[in-house]
Amino acid sequence: MSKVLIIYYSLSGNTEKMAKAIEEGAKSAGATVTTKISLEATAEDFMDCDVVLFGTANYFNYMAGAVKDFFDRTWFTLKGKVDGKPYATFGSYGGGKDAAINTLNERCDQLGLKKAAESVGAQREPTPEALEECKALGSKMALM
């Protein structure tokens, strides 16, 4: 059974809804899922999982400062120890579809993780269709 870690930050709840749908999808595929707000996620959580999903809202066309905080705190502990770990990203935005997600993907790539699925985005509140995409992403990552 794979261990899925979901790390996200959401101020007004849109990205959080996506995280919950991903969690549902991963659980339905049989994974053990740990979901954490980025400020509370640790390097140990990360080392312990088989696959990871990062979620961020777009704030000023960058990942949430609270998600960057995870990379800031854990970078030198994780660098060189997590090469090839599968990752995927998701998040909500206002008008700038890919800008924040791209900054997140860049950090994941630089950390040595392996992108395992296309990112899922939602403009502001995720539609039912976007939530279905999130569930499918969770299931897919659970089966890695």
By CB under 6 A, name the one of 26, 29, 33, 57 that touches ligand FMN.
Answer: 57
| Cβ closest to ligand FMN, residue 92 vs residue 103 | 92
Q: How far is the CB of 14 from ligand FMN (least distance, A)?
A: 3
Specify which residues 86 forms β-bridges with.
Answer: 114
Q: Does 143 bind ligand FMN (CB under 6 A)?
A: no
Q: How far is the CB of 44 from ligand FMN (least distance, A)?
A: 26
Residues 1-30 that bind ligand FMN (CB under 6 A): 10-15
> Which residue is associated with the tokens 């696959």?
51
CA angle 75, 81, 83 (to 5 degrees): 100
Q: How far is the CB of 83 from ligand FMN (least distance, A)?
A: 30
CB of 8 closer than 8 Å to CB of 38: yes
CA distance 76 to 88: 21
Residue nearest ligand FMN (C-beta atom):
94
CA distance 66 to 70: 7
The pair phi, psi for residue 92, each rounded to 5°, is -105, 150
Nearest Cα residue to 36 out of 65, 59, 70, 78: 70
Q: How far is the CB of 54 from ligand FMN (least distance, A)?
A: 13
| Cβ closest to ligand FMN, residue 14 vs residue 74 | 14
Chain positions contacting ligand FMN, by CB under 6 A: 10-15, 57-61, 92-96, 124
